[in-house]
Structure 1
Amino acid sequence: MTSRIPGADEFTSRPLSREELLRQISPALRLHQAGDEQVDALTYEVVRHRLWAITQEMGETLRRMSGSHVVTESNDFNFSICDELGEQVQVGTYNIGLIGSMDLAITWTLRHRADNPGIAEGDMFLCNDPWIGGGLHQNDAAILAPIFHDGELFGWTTAIAHQVDLGGPRPGSFSPSAQDVFGEAVPTPPLKVVRGGVLQRDVADAWVRRSRLPHLVGLDLRAKVAANKNAIDQVLRLVAKYGAGTVKAVMRRMMDDAEHRLRAKLGNLPDGTWTAVGYQEQSGTGDRNLHAIKVAMTKEGDRLVFDFRGTAGQTGIINCPYPGLRAGIVFTVLPLLAGDIPWAAGGLMRCFEIITDEDTITNASFPAAVGKGPFGPAWGAGNLVAEVLAKMLDAEPAHRADVQSICNGTTDLCVVSGVDVRGGAGKRFVSPIFDVMAGGYGAQVHHDGVDTGGRLIIPSARAPDVEMTEYLYPLVALWRREQIDSGGPGRQRGGMSGSVCYVQHPDQSGRMSLVVSGNGKAANQNVGLAGGHPGNSQLDLVVRGIDLPRLAGAKSIPAGLGELGGRVEVLPCEGESDLGPGDALYLHWQAGGGYGDPLLRQADSVVEDVRQARVSAEAARDVYGVVLAEDGEVDATATGDARAALRHRRATGAGLTGPGLQVVSPVDLTAARRLDDNLAVLDSTVVCVHCGTKIGPLEGGAFVTGLARRETAPAEAGPHIWHDPSEYVDEEIVFRQLLCPGCLTAVSSRVVPVSHPLPHDDYRSAP
């Protein structure tokens, strides 16, 4: 018996046209491809809503069966119903990133499993290979289940969830020092884990054997199988009631309608090209470099092209394969462009194209380390896509309400592991700290960002109940709270983030291991727009030798780090540490970016922020220029003086280049076309909407050289910016503001490396 030995290139996925895919599928596999029946409006809506409900019920099935707090507490999972070729007809409202490449995994399975071992009724396939799809890194494990009707492959259901541990050298399967994928959890291409409705014990045993927590992984496996089985049964009941042709016609129409609606929206937006550059900090343990991700988004007619050429080459652990890049685009496009369109993702994904170089951190080749893919380069690429989409929407008055500054930027990964000795049990535990789910949303043109609202990419995200965390793991929370001053300052303020501080349980002994990973500690990923400041820098600390807890007999709970005593150890972007009985773990995750110049925020809004403990009185004065009187109301005279002083500081402060403050004559802006909150185009010349200053020609972004530029220390952006980026990277980091030369209103405010390019290209092809 012989068979072909596959090469590395065989274990990769790329989108294929339906015609090309059909040519590559074994003819022995019969496909149900009807679906051209006419369906009345009432039947269409009933069947469509039933398909949506089935995906939500899959979530309830998984949540009720799983024992993992990743699923039960934080909703880090998702589902989809697909047609016979894997196009996604309906997806769940959980982690959108987990379905951004599910169709690619089904496509691969159709091409490589149809003839051997075959795809038959009652089968299901297990996959956690990031190069194939169905997840963003190895800890995302999917079950792909074909639906058969009358001997024909009618469609697929899928269930996917993050697994707490799937092996590798470090608990939690994330290794900051990995040199390649062989230093991480092993990726597994699609295996037939259920055959003819029966769970294959040998495959299931091999799967759980790899994990430090086999009971959790085994239970999740069965929960995903059950969720798929329940969904298949319900889809077939729908087919029995309405007919296979009718249900398939609804599925086709759902995707076509989603495509047509998104194309219609794109057709009403201006054509052009917008660019953005972001950074991954540290590629692994010991690295102190920044690694750039670049995107140029071109919108032409009713389609988008995302061009990532020029992105840094693959290195260390900060890589994702092509399916992860695609997922990063999907989990941004769906909520930002298709929030008012039913999420028939197969139709929505027809509206964009991806161009990317091979062997880069957003399109890594095997065997690159890719464990950080979802919360590293995939999320980083998604942030940049959100930024260029916002610039496009901001230029169209009818869509300015959809503009949103970047949300919390990425996750703050910290995996705590050890042996829980409470009660003498000696039970091994691995726990990612999921309190960080409570990220801040970016500000909008007309609204502040949502405080600790969750994550844009996981609409149903939840931070776990602190008491549940304390029950499951030998940790005690000193606090978990919204963090004052964390939201990005702006005319509209970014949503606040939070912080949490954990110590060991009093009955615990020994040291716990920590694995940490996170961006936005030096160069912020949660950027603001139109002069809005970024949200807070991410900050992770261990405080050694604290004065307070052991908690036994404690009379009070410390209110902040200053009351803990001890010695502060700053944790790196990528690295490992430990937590002892006399230590405290502090995580401060990222908030949302602001929108517009903070000096333009209504003073009454700043006062209300101070009352609600969202902004400190010091930040109100030093960042917003709002001074409070003794009764807590606005001191109008002092506020006017403070704002004038802050503008004067921009004009005379260190690092100012370009034109200084100019005296200008008012300009009639009636015929001007807005670019964003501050800039408009009048007769091909960019002007300031606040003072009428003619800044320069729009063509080629030439006006950018007419803006005043100020570069100062990052802490100048506000008290929420960690003041010493040199703790993490070698390159100099600055707070860069581009300013109107007439009134010195901030047009752009970024914490970036000094080599960060000026945004000429943002306007090169803009309308």
Structure 2
Amino acid sequence: MIDDPIGLSIVQKQLDHIARQMGWVMMRTARSTIFSQSHDFSCFICDAHGNIVSQADGLPIHTGGGGFAVRAVLERFGREIADGDVFILNDPYLAGGNHLPDYTIIRPVFLLGELLAFCCNRAHQSDIGGGAAGTYNSVATEIFHEGIRLPVLQLIAAGKLRRDLWELLLANTRCPDLLDGDLRAMIGSTEIGARRLAEALSLLRQGTARDYLNGILDYAEHLVREEITRLPCGVYEGEDESDNDCFGPADIRVRVRVTVSDKDLHLDFTGSSPQISGFKNSSIANTYSSVYLAIIAFLGPQLPKNQGAFRAVTVHAPEGTVVNARSPAPMTMNTIFPATNIVHACWKALASCDPKRACAGWGKLLHCVTSGRRLSGETFVLYHGHGLPSAGAVRGRDGFPGMGLVPTLCGSRLANVETQEQFYPITIHKHEMRCDGEGAGEFRGGPGMNYVADVEVAAEYSFRGEGGYGLTAFGVNGGSAGQSGSMTLAAANGEPFDIPQYGVRNLPPLRINITSPGGGGYGDPRRRNPDAVLCDVQGGIVSPKRARDVYGVVLTTDRRSVDADATALLRSRRQTASEALRA
């Protein structure tokens, strides 16, 4: 192990900065708003063996299992890899992908003729063919229904683009204009990353670049194992559920048993439900990403986020289950479900291990993808990201409002409303925080959002919803669950359409109304700072009635301040009643 802690820290910071630079290049040059506005892509760096050394940019569900993809490139091309090559892949069974919409561009980095690293960009494409526009085919029963499958392919050979492969990719999308620009942006981002990385590594002492990359992995391993020693050894269990298999009611469980030993964590998903007919099955890379996200978020944000940090974590995911499906099971939904279920199951198990670090659940998705044709004849694909659910609370922090789904861990962004209206045939009437949607707690969950928009053309809708049918974000340590959401679609005359929980429908111009689910709360609501409750009431997040009934906070008649005496009396009475009930 290299004995240069300052140098190791500098190298890690440089790698992280380069990963972020790649992300900035992608956002500024990509054609689709899903990238330039919403950041549904991730840039990461691996060493020559496929170990992640930086995942500072983007979404952890993309990057945590990124090493599977790089190792697939190494297995397929090995010693044939040359400077100037660029590879592309997406297949979860053949190429270490998580799901088909995420194309991954992988560029090797050479220094003095030696392969030292790979710069990578994994990005969710607007459309990759398949049975439904916009990549989410809710009625798929096998992966062949979900779009084009890419094993490890050499897109650029020693600096020369393979035109035949490029044309094949453009022929298998409904949005070739977008894909053409987005792929060029992905390639460009990795080119900039590779150039910066080679420059940074060349400044190290001669012959030690590989030693420094190994050193940062070893150091991360040391820090994580040290953190694990602070946990009580034992076996802890958790589970999370889904109530449908995309075609009807079903009881689908993700179960995990977490074994904490002296310096290791072992996660065993034995007992999880068998793989299902719908597209909510996980690839092994996606399951590892979900586990790594859950573990690092629980242990602490200060820890390095590279492959060394994951050496202390082992995973057993039985083949043929929803957490490691056999081919040809469909799995486009897996970066959301069962990824959310995997993270939640892990957090529930770990909460019983160390309650102070517990993470409350995030709201579950309630969404639809709209695709249709512009007046110019081009296909558009619109994600209603302003209707996404809210985050759960942790000790010391309320849950964030409208920050997306737990597998993104706030790495995605909300597109600008005005930009959405310019690019798509849509008028957005409302985007505001919901009242009384939060999971109550000493630290409350995110409140959820109210989103109302008119889609002005006939379009195809792919529905995917868990958060509007009773499944909620769990609370921890006395905090309550977040509120469930709702979604309605109605014609111009106000008549509502009958919409499925999962499915594909062709509908005329309509109004969409989403009340998104709230996040779970942390701790006893009656311990919440009364001034924080006052702020929530004044901001329209909590009603005065809920402030009194749930948080035990009484406001003055004008709602401009807390009635301290009445609040103290109300809280003391409830405390006495609770103690008597426990006795």
Q: TM-score range by the shorter chain?
A: over 0.9
Query: Alignment partner for residue 404 of structure 1, among 349, 359, 380?
Result: 359
Whether 1:270 and 2:270 are equivalent positions in the alignment is: no
Aligned-partner residue type, residue 482 of structure 2: G
Contact persistence 2:387–2:402 (CA under 8 A): no
Mark the CA change 1:51 to 1:616 in structure 2 (over 3 Å): closer, same or farther. same
Contact persistence 1:383–1:525 (CA under 8 A): no
Q: Within 2, Cα distance between the matches of 1:177 and 1:168?
A: 11
Mark the CA change 1:585 to 1:232 in structure 2 (over 3 Å): closer, same or farther. same
Q: Which residue of 2 aligns with 1:742?
A: 582
Shift of 1:213: 0.3
Q: Which residue of 1 aligns with 2:353?
A: 392
Query: Alignment partner for residue 630 of structure 1, among 542, 557, 565?
Result: 557
Mark the CA change 1:629 to 1:57 in structure 2 (over 3 Å): closer, same or farther. closer
Question: What secondary structure sits across from 1:476 in the alignment?
Answer: strand
Query: Alignment partner for residue 102 of structure 2, among 135, 140, 143?
Result: 140
Contact persistence 2:88–2:106 (CA under 8 A): yes
Q: Which residue of 2 aligns with 1:654?
A: none
Aligned-partner residue type, residue 492 of structure 1: F
Q: Within 2, Cα distance between the matches of 1:237 and 1:145?
A: 16
State how 1:282-681 maps to structure 2 within 5 Å.
282-285=244-247, 287-315=248-276, 316-343=278-305, 345-394=306-355, 400=356, 402-409=357-364, 411-421=365-375, 425-436=376-387, 439-454=389-404, 456=406, 457-505=408-456, 509=457, 511-546=458-493, 566-569=494-497, 571-581=499-509, 583-632=510-559, 633-634=561-562
Mark the CA change 1:80 to 1:608 in structure 2 (over 3 Å): closer, same or farther. closer
Q: Within 1, Cα distance between the matches of 2:205 and 2:173?
A: 43
Q: Which runs of 5+ in 2 are unaligned?
A: none
Query: Alignment partner for residue 211 of structure 2, among 249, 274, 299?
Result: 249
Mark the CA change 1:576 to 1:626 in structure 2 (over 3 Å): closer, same or farther. farther
Mark the CA change 1:504 to 1:48 in structure 2 (over 3 Å): closer, same or farther. closer
TM-score by length of 2: 0.93
Mark the CA change 1:333 to 1:152 in structure 2 (over 3 Å): closer, same or farther. same
Q: Within 1, Cα distance between the matches of 2:136 and 2:5?
A: 49
Q: Please tell me whether Structure 1 or Structure 2 has the larger radius of gyration of its CA atoms.
A: 1
Q: Within 2, Cα distance between the matches of 1:480 and 1:327?
A: 31
Contact persistence 1:135–1:160 (CA under 8 A): no
Q: Which residue of 2 aligns with 1:75?
A: 39
Contact persistence 1:321–1:364 (CA under 8 A): yes
Contact persistence 1:132–1:323 (CA under 8 A): no
Shift of 1:274: 1.8
Q: Which residue of 1 aligns with 2:56?
A: 92
Return 592-601 or 72-81, whichever deviates more. 592-601
Aligned-partner residue type, residue 535 of structure 1: G
Whether 1:121 and 2:83 are equivalent positions in the alignment is: yes
Whether 1:195 and 2:178 are equivalent positions in the alignment is: no
TM-superposition CA deviations, 1:3-61 (whole Å, max 9, x none): xxxxxxxxxxxxxxxxxxxxxxxxxxxxxxxxx6x564554444332222111111111
Q: State the percentage of identical aligned residues.
A: 27
Aligned-partner residue type, residue 188 of structure 2: A
Mark the CA change 1:335 to 1:184 in structure 2 (over 3 Å): closer, same or farther. same
TM-superposition CA deviations, 1:88-118 (whole Å, max 9, x none): 1111231111112111112222223327xx3
Contact persistence 2:95–2:151 (CA under 8 A): no
Q: Within 1, Cα distance between the matches of 2:532 and 2:190?
A: 49
Shift of 1:417: 0.9
Shift of 1:134: 5.2
Q: Within 1, Cα distance between the matches of 2:20 and 2:528?
A: 40
Mark the CA change 1:135 to 1:52 in structure 2 (over 3 Å): closer, same or farther. same
- Count how many residue pairs are aligned between Structure 1 and Structure 2: 580
Contact persistence 1:476–1:502 (CA under 8 A): yes
Shift of 1:210: 0.7
Shift of 1:370: 0.6
Question: What secondary structure sits across from 1:478 in the alignment?
Answer: strand
Query: Alignment partner for residue 110 of structure 1, among 54, 74, 81?
Result: 74
Contact persistence 1:272–1:298 (CA under 8 A): yes
Contact persistence 1:94–1:458 (CA under 8 A): no
Aligned-partner residue type, residue 138 of structure 2: P
Contact persistence 1:86–1:104 (CA under 8 A): yes
Mark the CA change 1:533 to 1:476 in structure 2 (over 3 Å): closer, same or farther. same
Return 333-342 or 56-65, whichever deviates more. 333-342
Aligned-partner residue type, residue 449 of structure 1: G
Q: Within 2, Cα distance between the matches of 1:635 and 1:133?
A: 62
Q: Which residue of 1 aligns with 2:243?
A: 281
Mark the CA change 1:532 to 1:47 in structure 2 (over 3 Å): closer, same or farther. closer
Q: Within 1, Cα distance between the matches of 2:238 and 2:146?
A: 31
Q: Within 2, Cα distance between the matches of 1:568 and 1:623?
A: 34
Q: Which residue of 2 aligns with 1:32?
A: none
Contact persistence 1:279–1:292 (CA under 8 A): yes
The RMSD of aligned alpha carbons is 2.6
Q: Which residue of 1 aligns with 2:133?
A: 171
Contact persistence 2:95–2:152 (CA under 8 A): no
